[in-house]
Structure 1
Amino acid sequence: MTSGGRIEITGLTKRFGSFVAVDDLTFTVEPGRITGFLGPNGAGKTTTLRMLLGLVSPTSGSATIDGTAYQDLADPLGTVGAALEATNFHPGRSGRDHLRVLATAAGIPIARVDEMLEMTGIPAFARRRAGTYSLGMRQRLALAAALLGDPGVLILDEPANGLDPEGIHWLRGFLRHLSTDQHKTILVSSHLLQEVEQTVDDVVIIANGVLVKQGAMADMRGGGGAVVRTPDPARLSEALAGRGLTATPGSDGELVVGTEDLRLVGEAAHEAGLPVWQLSRKAADLEELFLELTSGTNRNLGPGPTEGVA
């Protein structure tokens, strides 16, 4: 078992002519945590991952794993596993043979192939031609390939694409096992916040190649205020206003108060002589926040490249 390394993106920029695909991007991904790399389609996520893996040369800045660029790693496959596409296999070759070719080329014991097939839940399909696989099965095969060298760092581009609800549930548990039990560093890109919000520990959000927010997912969930139910909402609103707190009616008779300090709301209700039926913090609408963060950033100029930017 290989523990993870620290991913560091520092001042990373990529220009295609006058088009800025990634613009002075800086963030870190810590071992033992799952980091969601989020942004709408065309935000620059895949370009960033390709620079991290040495597939695209940056215009400026750096992308390293434990301080070393990917092309300078002594054992690349044993350090970093990546699944950027679920189509990089010969369609006439079986899933098992695809992994065997990769293992042989990398000097990895063949026994590891069956172990990865079992771990990713595709042993029953191992002898079928990979070209007959569904998109969800191709995603699992790509994940098995990424894990062949038991790397400490795992980089996945849209890994839930094509998975059914059961497959998404499996993926969440599998990634949590890798990060928590094996202390691997996991970076997962997606253009859908709702797809990863139950999985990731941290988030990095970009739009048009620009960083717009980063931090712990738990912090993203904050800021929603408080929800309170009482038999006389109008009277409680007046009491809250007397304390400088705004309260707006909800869709089901509740009040949404502009504070996360439940004590202040409870004290206002007590002083007004009102019973409280419910008092809790209101989680922020993460999807609404995500759309708000990514809709107003547009610093790119000129026509974009014909391919390779996502």
Structure 2
Amino acid sequence: MNSAAADGTGVSVRGLTKTFGSFRAVDDLTFEVRPGRVTGFLGPNGAGKTTTLRMLLGLIRPTAGEALIGGHHYADLQHPLQVVGAALEATGFHPGRSGRDHLRVLAATHAIPDARVDELLELVGIPAAARKRAGDYSMGMRQRLGLAAALLGDPQVLLLDEPANGLDPEGIRWMRGFMRHLAREQGKTVLVSSHLLGEVEQTVEDVVIIANGHLVREGTMDELHGDPAVLVRTTDAPTLAAALARAGIASAPEDQPGSLRVLTGDLARVGDVALAVGLPVHELRPLRTDLERLFLELTESPEHRNRNLEVTSTTPAGAAPAPTGARHTDIPPPTGADAPVPAQEENR
């Protein structure tokens, strides 16, 4: 880890809980997000991801616990735009205002020069659209404008909710590389929520998985993939297994005829052992638990099954059913103390 990352600003969620009446959106959630790394924040719809991010930004008041950025609550940050940038949705723009003017208004609230606005429009790849009305932007362009807004103050922490939505394959690849650059080269703390599990697997170093407001799994991608193993297929698996055992390498039969699961990450060594006993190798490849498979195993287990799929059994007697076609969110519309705090537009 570079020195910038070692001295960077992290995110701490400690015993975080949020209830809305009898509904517990987030339940005693605890995890850490380290500087200099990209962390994936995953969970089914309604798991509590958006609620957690909003509590980090002071947009929702926790029922219990705390959500800290660099050891501080968001409301206590003297210069929030320089500490944390967030893109939680791609709709926080005045439709009649140009993309450039949107950023200039936000920049003016923190005395950030217009030169920074133009720099970011170039960086996120929409300089040609800068003077067009934001209401005419495509979803991908709105995502890029939202990212530019989050980066205005050159913050140490980035909170991104579904940043690849609406991007084409080239844009997704650019986003992946950009997040890695911000974390690895600039030491920033990047927390990204996404449903694109294959893309997350190629992007993040750490993963936090939640379901029904609870922490289900936390760790590095290497830890989640489990111990290294390879699959080898040959004409005489028992003979190869015996040869591998003599070389100090454990193995076990796989379902496919002639195949072994070998507990090593060294493909060359497995091939050398097969060659030494005169056996052909028809297949030799790494084996690991991919993120999508692990995610589904964890979130579809009985204790973590998505409560939103069981509306019939959990809806209180006499309660009106959800409207057909309604878009699900983690939380009910905020009111009173839970309504968005004013002057938070820079974090949209």
TM-score, with length taken from structure 2: 0.79
Verify the 8 A CA contact 2:251 2:260 in the aligned structure 1.
no
Q: What are structure 2's unaligned runs of at least 5 residues?
A: 308-313, 317-329, 335-348
Pair 1:284–1:153, CA change in 2 (3 A): same
Verify the 8 A CA contact 1:228 1:280 in the aligned structure 2.
yes
Question: 1:256 offset after TM fit, Å?
Answer: 3.9
- Residue in 2 that maps onto 1:281: 286
- Residue in 2 that maps onto 1:248: 254
Q: Distance in 2 between matches of 1:305 and 1:12?
A: 15
Question: 1:285 offset after TM fit, Å?
Answer: 2.8
1:165 to 163, 169, 179: 169
The letter of the residue matching 1:306 is: P
Verify the 8 A CA contact 1:29 1:35 in the aligned structure 2.
yes
The letter of the residue matching 1:40 is: P
Question: 1:305 offset after TM fit, Å?
Answer: 4.7
**Cα deviations across residues 236-266 of structure 1 (Å, max 9, x unaligned)?**
468779998421144xx66141633769967
Pair 1:295–1:224, CA change in 2 (3 A): farther
Question: 1:105 offset after TM fit, Å?
Answer: 1.9
Q: Distance in 1 between matches of 2:250 and 2:89?
A: 53
- Residue in 1 that maps onto 2:186: 182
**Cα deviations across residues 194-229 of structure 1 (Å, max 9, x unaligned)?**
131111110000111111111111222334732113
SS at match of 2:106: helix
- Residue in 1 that maps onto 2:84: 80
Does residue 306 (structure 1) correspond to residue 345 (structure 2)? The answer is: no
Pair 1:186–1:241, CA change in 2 (3 A): same
- Return 278-287 or 194-203, whichever deviates more: 278-287
Q: What are structure 1's unaligned runs of at least 5 residues?
A: none
Question: 1:169 offset after TM fit, Å?
Answer: 0.5
Q: Distance in 1 between matches of 2:26 and 2:92?
A: 25
Pair 1:124–1:255, CA change in 2 (3 A): same
Once the two structures are aligned, what percentage of the paired residues are identical? 61
Verify the 8 A CA contact 1:34 1:201 in the aligned structure 2.
yes
Q: Distance in 2 between matches of 1:174 and 1:162?
A: 17
The letter of the residue matching 2:162 is: E
1:70-149 equivalent positions in 2, closer than 5 A = 70-149=74-153
Q: Distance in 2 between matches of 1:143 and 1:225?
A: 39
Q: Distance in 1 between matches of 2:200 and 2:167?
A: 13
SS at match of 2:181: helix
Q: Distance in 1 between matches of 2:280 and 2:331?
A: 62
Residues paired across the two proteins, number = 305
1:154-303 equivalent positions in 2, closer than 5 A = 154-223=158-227, 225-233=229-237, 235-236=239-240, 245-250=251-256, 255-257=259-261, 259-260=263-264, 274-276=279-281, 279-296=284-301, 297-298=304-305
Verify the 8 A CA contact 2:121 2:130 in the aligned structure 1.
yes
**Cα deviations across residues 83-103 of structure 1 (Å, max 9, x unaligned)?**
001000101111001101111
Question: 1:16 offset after TM fit, Å?
Answer: 1.0
**Cα deviations across residues 102-147 of structure 1 (Å, max 9, x unaligned)?**
1112221121110110111100000110011110000000000000
Verify the 8 A CA contact 2:231 2:262 in the aligned structure 1.
no
1:33-44 equivalent positions in 2, closer than 5 A = 33-44=37-48
Q: Distance in 2 between matches of 1:271 and 1:170?
A: 45
Q: Distance in 1 between matches of 2:29 and 2:141?
A: 33
